[in-house]
Amino acid sequence: MTIPTYDTAGVIVSISEEKLAEIQAAFSKVHYHPDGVVPDDHLAEVDIWFTSWTGLPASVTHVKQIPRTKVIQLSSAGANNWLARDIMQSKEAKDQIKVCSASGIHTLSIPQYIIANVVNLYMKLQVQLHLARTEETWPARDRVVARSGLSGRERPGNRCLFGKTVGMLGYGHIARETARLFKAFHCDVIAANSKGDKRSEHGYAIPGTGDHDGSIPSQYYSTSDPASFKAFLARCDVLVASLPSTPQTRYMLNRDHFGKSLLPQGAVFVNVGRGDLVKSEEIIAALDAPGGLWGAALDVTDPEPLPVGHPLFTHPAAIVTPHTSGSFEGYFDSGADVLLRQVESLRGY
């Protein structure tokens, strides 16, 4: 059996000169087209691609255009958009092309987004900043509390992370690094996955990040066991969801899960996974219910994007961002590191 050599790479995102030089040193030939416009002869030569989350250019509609392509290395954690393209529906394409994500690089940005916005909610910074920017005045504490609505009335003072229990719903790369950072605030971390078991981390990981052996959570719970999942939620002062969208996770949560009979009083919900974990209307209902959800930070929503005028945008206990937590300076350079690690593995180094 002949082992593919992966001699020629195609890069269609913008990377630094230093990172391009690293890639050029790893391949016999590199076609660099950061504008996404690739000549037909270059399309025909490439063995492995490094692309944005959208995959290859729209002009590529059939595998005959890319006869040597064996691997498409995306720069995103998900591959749904590329896999949904017409070209990937044929058996020929599925047999010829392996599609790889850049899962692991987002530990540089999403965990700090999670920490920052839990702190923002605890300090009511979303309300403080809104008042200062729109009214151009020093917002008095009693005014901040009043404008915070139900959450302000229930807990008027600033809150502390010290001693809180943080529940990680899903325990992949992002959750593991988030868990490591929360431990610095003296939080107890627990986790829930499908089987409720401790697992080692697999795949690409940036050195110094994460929880390779899964030892940070003090306890694991199962999302497949209703009693175990209920026990998990009952401990979550902060509930952090980083789950992908699957048939099992679609609308896994609803207002009953956010109610005072399950989550502790004053609980905060953060979603950085996929919006269809819970309907936005359920989050609104939980935020408006006495003793319900105290605050929410949402980088993903259902639907996405939210329609103009949606009440989550202006809810005093909610922070909504437009799916930007994964972006960071040097993003494509970090994704290129995954490409380089990938080709080493493929070549058997």
- Provide DSSP, 20-80: HHHHHHHSSEEEE-TTS---HHHHHH-SEEEE-TT-S-TT--SGGG-TT--EEEESSS--H
Residues 98, 173 share a domain: no
> Is 270 part of a structural domain of the chain?
yes
**2 assigned to some structural domain:** no
> What spatial distance separates the first Cα and last Cα of the chain, rounded to whole Å?
18
Say how many domains are in the chain: 2
The reported pLDDT for the residue numbered 260 is: 75
- The two tokens of residue 194 are 């499908």
Same domain, 207 and 297: yes
Q: 140: which residues sit within 8 A by CB, 6+ positions away?
A: none
pLDDT truncated to tens, each residue of the chain (349 aa)?
Answer: 556 779 999 999 999 999 999 999 999 999 999 999 999 999 999 999 999 999 999 999 999 999 999 999 999 988 888 999 999 999 999 999 999 999 999 999 999 999 999 999 999 999 999 999 999 999 999 999 999 999 999 999 999 999 999 999 999 999 999 999 999 999 999 999 999 999 999 889 999 999 999 999 999 999 999 999 999 999 999 999 999 999 999 999 998 899 877 999 999 999 999 999 999 999 999 999 999 999 999 999 999 999 999 999 999 999 999 999 999 999 999 999 999 999 999 988 6
pLDDT of the residue at 78 = 85
**Is 65 in the same domain as 189?**
no
- Cα–Cα separations (whole angstroms), residue 69 to 45, 62, 208: 8, 12, 33
Residues 238 and 99 in one domain: no
- For the record, the structure tokens of 83 come out as 């896999």
Give the separation between CA 106 and CA 174, rounded to whole angstroms. Answer: 7
Q: Are residues 297 and 149 in the same domain?
A: yes
8 A C-beta contact, residue 145 and residue 289:
no
Task: Give residue 3's pLDDT.
Answer: 62
Q: Are residues 97 and 178 in the same domain?
A: no
CATH number of the domain within which 240 lies: 3.40.50.720
Length of the chain: 349
Residues 23 and 155 in one domain: no
Residues 6+ apart with CB under 8 A from 207: none
CB of 272 closer than 8 Å to CB of 241? yes
**286 is a domain residue:** yes
114 and 231 fall within a common domain: yes
Judge if 119 and 240 occupy the same domain: yes
Q: Which domain holds residue 24?
A: 8-103+329-346
Calpha distance 10→19 (Å, rounded): 14
3 in a structural domain: no
